[in-house]
Structure 1
Amino acid sequence: MKKNQVDIVTMGCSKNLVDSELLMRQFEANGYHCVHDSKQPTGEIAVINTCGFIESAKEESINTILEFAQAKEEGRLKQLYVMGCLSQRYKDELEREIPQVDKFYGKFNYKNLLNDLGMGIIASCNGSRSITTPPHYAYLKISEGCDRSCAYCAIPLITGKHISRKKEDILQEVHNLVAQGVKEFQIIAQELTYYGVDLDGKRQIATLIDDIAQVKGVAWIRLHYAYPNQFPVELLDVIRRRDNICKYLDIALQHISDHILTRMHRHVSKAQTMELIRRIRASVPGIHLRTTLMVGFPGETEEDFNELMDFVHWARFERMGAFTYSEEDGTYSGEHYEDDVPADVKQRRLDQLMALQQEISAEVEAEKVGQTMKTIIDRKEGNYYIGRTEYCSPEVDPEVLIPATRQLRIGEFYQVRITDSEEFDLYGEIDEQ
């Protein structure tokens, strides 16, 4: 057990990761050494930043807390704290069930931990983060919360209403991160395209991204978690016009059947969704779309599912994730719908959908063979350097494997000629020309 060391474990999404990085910076300013995502505690203090999105994520968070609670009981850890979405939502229950935890904090009051430990919040470090990602890229959170009321989603219950960060604060953070060596920014929010509405009633995402793109040293910008309803099409002009904005958009669609979209309270139709996809692809030629889809929502029939399969075949998403519906406490669907799709049917539909996407992904990646693509190098593994093109977000998208026949610099860009492809990865070699 190392004195003055804090182990911080982040569960769930990149938005949680940003919170962990903010807390780590404060700990370090108070003289502590922080270790991120260690599998077992090696310091005196551990902080678990939890996820409460869906059942599997909640289970993973609880299991991690229990593992660290056992370490505390065995004397391998002095103090254990829990923060984040799960404890924001289930604080009272968790306090009763896991008394080994010294204190639970929510999604927004976690910095109180510093005061409770007898430290102060260092004002000069407010807004500063200790980056846990490779130093050439970082996540940039532009807002908190969500004003949407999708029937299945507990996130608004956890995070509250949408709150946009001030643009000047965001731009200052970009300047600070560039000064630290960050070149690539993953722009994240629960609802990216709603940015600014709470500030002056207008969607300001296009202006914000345009301003970020003009900061010297920003090499790549990638956009995550857009919403299809009332999509700000002026954003497409910015993506097309700015060379350092990746031709990439993460836009969660969830379903395509009007029957299911209505039951989900998505406030968008099949026709509107398909027209939006056409417009995005026409406005930004070559763009790669990432989406997330759900199967097994209450009331989903075989006809609804087949309609979804046909849609995926038509849309040919370059990137796609999918998951099965799980009933969440307090949501509209949890209180008003019967979870009537059997678990084995949900799993079969998920398997069919992902098998189709695997075929599409294989075809999409095969089309890149022979092309030379700008690639950033993330790391070295064995006999390969691992890189990504502008069409690839870290951790979730295909990577480019480059034989380590010569020394490459991590975090640098290279022109890479694609020589081969698999369903979800590419192979390439440095283009010497």
Structure 2
Amino acid sequence: MDFEITGSTAAEIADSVRALRERGVVRPGDALPPVRELAATLGVNRNTAVAAYRQLAQAGLVISKGRGGTLMAGGAPLAQEGVAADTVLHDIGSGNPDPRRIPDPSAALGGIVGRPVLYGEPVIDPGLEHWAREWMLADLARDDLRISVTSGAVDAVERLLAQALTRDDAVALEDPCFLSSIHTVRLGGYRGVPVPVDEQGMTVDGLQAALDAGVRAIISTPRAQNPTGVSLTAARAAALRKVLEPHPYVLIIEDDHFSMLSAHPYASLIAPGHRRYALVRSVSKFLGPDMCLALAATDPTTAERLAMRLNPGTTWVSHLLQRLAHAQLADAGIRQQIADAASHYAERNSAFTAELLSRGIRTDSTDGLSLWVRLPVPARVAAERLMRRGWLVRTGDEFRIDEASPVSDHVRLTVHDLSEADTARLLDDLESAAR
């Protein structure tokens, strides 16, 4: 080791490594000293060194390779949701809705202009709040329910965690997990604790283990979990609520992103007596990603803390945008278009799944905008083979919380908008890539 790490606390040690990185003293791929060696050199407790490396890992600055040691992370960008930039390949991993299925807002635009909103007024528009309350209460019958508005679901999750947690607090995440949730937890300085997902949702044993590990918040996707497409069953939800009974102050965040498009009923982790909760529903999947707006139904304490992070003038959610969302959501014709889109996605996914099954390839669910396809070869191998045939897919490895976990055998495919010819070609190429 030709560099010197200093510090007597975890924060000081982590800052020392950051400074070495910024000055170019350590570079991507360089190995940091083992925990025991670093602790002995600095004269600190081993747990202090462990905490320092954990902070660096959560910030994406180092990668733990288990017995391979701790390495400085490379400069490669983190995987992000959406269309891949600068590629000539046919991108079937974007997870995007079909633009032809997004309602045209033109007719609603004329009715949203009214009295200007001034500083200090309520953050949420009254019309949208009234509509959202009825929507949420239909599924989450809570007498204490409050409605808040944020700039999308990711913004809601980030603010909800920030109002409840401090750095290094533990958060339970579904494994495999939505990319934005992984990034939000990592960049917030929290510890992500993986909870396995099976065909019924979060596993009971996994959640119990996370609670035993001291998680202070849980992020759950009740329907069309991304990337697996799995929806929480009523029986599994009841079992999870039972596990949560002794932990009423653990913040439950339910990201019901596919709400209006899902063919499955809403099942919840939030019991009637749970004290800290948030049901978050964005409109991006059915009104379009550019309608950057989400509604959060929360308990009063969480609502008050969230409001402090939504002060008008700094993080104001445009009332024009709120009125536009409300005008569309309250329109029976547009709600029918959303229902038609839901049928379209379900039918296309089911048809593709049936064709895959006839070729010996299975998917875990057909709910959502994408399919989670299990292959008999490692996902990265299949992705490389598909790339040579002109396809760009997402491998399951991108959605892992723990980089030391086994290599994935899943790929995520967005196929609902493919032409008949492209669908047939992809099926043939998947069959070849799986050999």
| TM-score, scaled to structure 2 | 0.28
| TM-score, scaled to structure 1 | 0.28
Where is the strand percentage greater, Structure 1 or Structure 2?
A: 1
